[in-house]
Structure 1
Amino acid sequence: MAFEPFINQWQQMFGMCSPRGVSAVFDESADGYVKSEAVSCLFLQRRRDARRVYGHILAARMGMDGNKKLGPFYPSSETQAELMQMTYREANVDPSGLTYFEAHSTGTRVGDVEEVKAIYSAYCEKRTKPLPLGAVKSNMGHSEGASGLVSITKVLIAFENQCIPPNINLNALKQELRPYFPPLLPITEKYDYIPGLYL
Structure 2
Amino acid sequence: MGNTSGVVVTGLGATTPLGGDVPSTWSALLAGHSGVRALTDDWAEALPVRFAAAAAVDPAEVLPRVRLRRLDRTQQFAVIAAREAWSDAGEPEVDPVRLAVSVSSGIGGILTTLNQYDVFRERGWQRVSPFTVPMLMPNGPAGALGVEYGARAGTHAMVSACASSAESIGYGIDMIRGGRADVVIAGGVEASIHPLNIAAFASMRAMSTRNDDPERASRPFDRGRDGFVMAEGAGILVLESEEHARARGARIYAEAAGAGYSSDGYDMVLPHPEGEGAARAIEQSLRQAEVAPGDIAYANAHATSTPAGDVAETRAIRSALGDAAADRVVVSSTKSMTGHLLGGAGAVESIATVLALHHRQAPPTINIEDLDDGVAVEIIQDKSRDLPQGPLAALNNSFGFGGHNVALVFRHG
Please confirm whether the aligned pair reaches a TM-score higher than 0.5, indicating the same fold: yes
Alpha carbons 1:159, 1:194 under 8 Å: kept:
no
Q: Does residue 185 of structure 1 match 2:388?
A: no
Deviations for 1:154-186, whole angstroms, at most 9, x for unmatched residues? 112222322112111112111222xx2xxx221
Which residue identity is paired with 1:120?
R
The structure whose residues are more often helix, as a share, is 2
Distance 1:105 1:129 in 2: 18
Q: 1:143 aligns with which of 337, 341, 346?
A: 341
Tell me which residue corresponds to 1:35: 230
Alpha carbons 2:227, 2:304 under 8 Å: kept:
yes
Tell me which residue corresponds to 2:358: 160
Matched residue SS, 1:174? coil
**Runs of 5+ unmatched residues, structure 1:** none
CA 1:78–1:64 in 2, change beyond 3 Å: closer, same or farther? closer
Aligned-residue offset at 1:42:
0.5
Matched residue SS, 2:311? helix
How does 1:10-89 map onto structure 2 within 5 Å?
10-20=200-210, 21=214, 22-50=217-245, 51-65=250-264, 67-68=265-266, 71-76=267-272, 77-89=275-287
Tell me which residue corresponds to 2:143: none
Tell me which residue corresponds to 1:5: 195
Distance 2:326 2:364 in 1: 23
Distance 1:111 1:122 in 2: 16
Q: 2:374 aligns with which of 176, 187, 191?
A: 176
Tell me which residue corresponds to 2:85: none
The structure whose residues are more often strand, as a share, is 2
Matched residue SS, 1:33? coil
CA 1:105–1:128 in 2, change beyond 3 Å: closer, same or farther? closer
Amino-acid identity (%):
28
Aligned-residue offset at 1:129:
4.6
Which residue identity is paired with 2:284?
M
CA 1:95–1:62 in 2, change beyond 3 Å: closer, same or farther? same
**Runs of 5+ unmatched residues, structure 2:** 1-109, 111-191, 393-413
Pick the structure with greater CA Rg.
Answer: 2
Greater RCO (CA < 8 Å, at least 6 residues apart): 1
Distance 1:161 1:126 in 2: 25
CA 1:54–1:78 in 2, change beyond 3 Å: closer, same or farther? same
CA 1:161–1:87 in 2, change beyond 3 Å: closer, same or farther? closer
Distance 2:310 2:296 in 1: 20
Matched residue SS, 2:330? strand
Distance 1:46 1:137 in 2: 30
Matched residue SS, 1:12? helix
TM-score computed with the length of structure 2 as normaliser: 0.43
Distance 1:56 1:96 in 2: 17
Tell me which residue corresponds to 2:329: 131
Tell me which residue corresponds to 1:194: 388
Distance 1:130 1:162 in 2: 15
Alpha carbons 1:134, 1:187 under 8 Å: kept:
yes
- Aligned CA RMSD, in angstroms, stands at 2.0
Aligned-residue offset at 1:135:
1.1
Which residue identity is paired with 1:72?
M
Matched residue SS, 1:8? helix
Distance 1:128 1:187 in 2: 14
Aligned-residue offset at 1:4:
5.5
Which residue identity is paired with 1:28?
R
Distance 1:170 1:161 in 2: 25
Alpha carbons 2:209, 2:226 under 8 Å: kept:
yes
Tell me which residue corresponds to 1:115: 313
Distance 2:337 2:293 in 1: 27
